[in-house]
Amino acid sequence: MTDKELTVIPEYLTPTAPGQKIEGLDLDDGRVLPNFLKVVQPSSRDPYKPPHKEGDLIITPQNQKIVSLEESFHFVPIFFWYEYTIQNPIQVKGLDFIREKTLDPNSAIAMKAKNQNPKARAFPCPENGDYNCSYVEHMNFLWVLLDHNETIGISPVVMSFFNTGWKNGMTLKELIKARSSQCQYMYGCQFRGFTARKSNDQGSWYLVNVMNPAEVSPFVQEKQRFEVYRELYQGFKKSHEQMELDVDYAGKVKEEEF
């Protein structure tokens, strides 16, 4: 067969009608689980460290490095949403990273997670009262990486800002809002990111910092690419509205920030 003949769709293979499920995937629940960005921490262990080094930004579940510590990358934010969780203490073995989570901003979990005082968000772990669980607010962004993206292409990845990284998520929101007089579309904006080391009296850890770019335009320059991002935004917005957009926070492996 020629290449052309190989791509011909037989007449008996009818297309899927709007709202119709693909036969064979009848039981598919529609859940969308994007890839997840993770920064390798001092407490990281196999399979993240080795082979990666502290401060590396990697994508999970592929476990592929995006950039090293302080190395720049560029991205377009596609979609944003909040999620509220109860996180188990890392010291108690055998527990999932996330105990419970919700998208409801008016839930009891959300009300407690929004408190910016870490002590007010903590409560004794039912399995071991010597350690605390914590209510946590996640600022989740879906990003399309503009470089260092050989593994995933234009597939959006989740960047979750929480705990000590929460302020960096607020920074990105403010940078986006600052461009509103020039661009009404978040997915029409481009930014620079890099990982950096932070420390306090409890130790050191690594976060993702964001800022306006110098090496690339602050705005998406190609209309075709902009339209692709618009379609991605619309698709993920619909998934979120239908409660189908999910995040695997376990990609952070119960180790993260102080």
Please report, for the chain, how many H helices and E strands are present, in that order: 4, 10
For residue 29, what pLDDT is reported? 61
**Which whole number is the average pLDDT over 95-124?**
94
Nearest CA among 130, 37, 63, 120 for reference residue 90: 130
What distance in Å separates the CA atoms of residue 22 and residue 43, rounded to the nearest whole number? 43
Count of beta carbons in the 10 Å neighbourhood of residue 51: 12
Over the stretch 22-58, which tens digit does the pLDDT of each residue have? 666 555 566 889 999 999 999 888 888 889 999 999 9
Nearest CA among 83, 64, 67, 86 for reference residue 75: 67
For residue 186, what pLDDT is reported? 97
In this predicted structure, the answer to whether residue 7 has a pLDDT above a threshold of 70 is no
What is this structure's pTM? 0.85
Nearest CA among 59, 55, 54 for reference residue 71: 55
In angstroms, how far is CA 35 from the centroid of its own chain? 7
Burial 180-190 (b: 16+ CB within 10 A, else e): eeeeebbbbbb
DSSP string, 180-235: TTT-S-GGGB-EEEEEEEEEETTEEEEEEEEE--SSS-SB---HHHHHHHHHHHHH
What distance in Å separates the CA atoms of residue 228 and residue 187, rounded to the nearest whole number? 10
Q: What percent of the chain has pLDDT over 90?
A: 70
Which comes out higher in pLDDT, residue 93 or 109?
109
For residue 258, what pLDDT is reported? 34
Token pair 């529609």 is found at 30
Count of beta carbons in the 10 Å neighbourhood of residue 174: 9
In this predicted structure, the answer to whether residue 255 has a pLDDT above a threshold of 60 is no
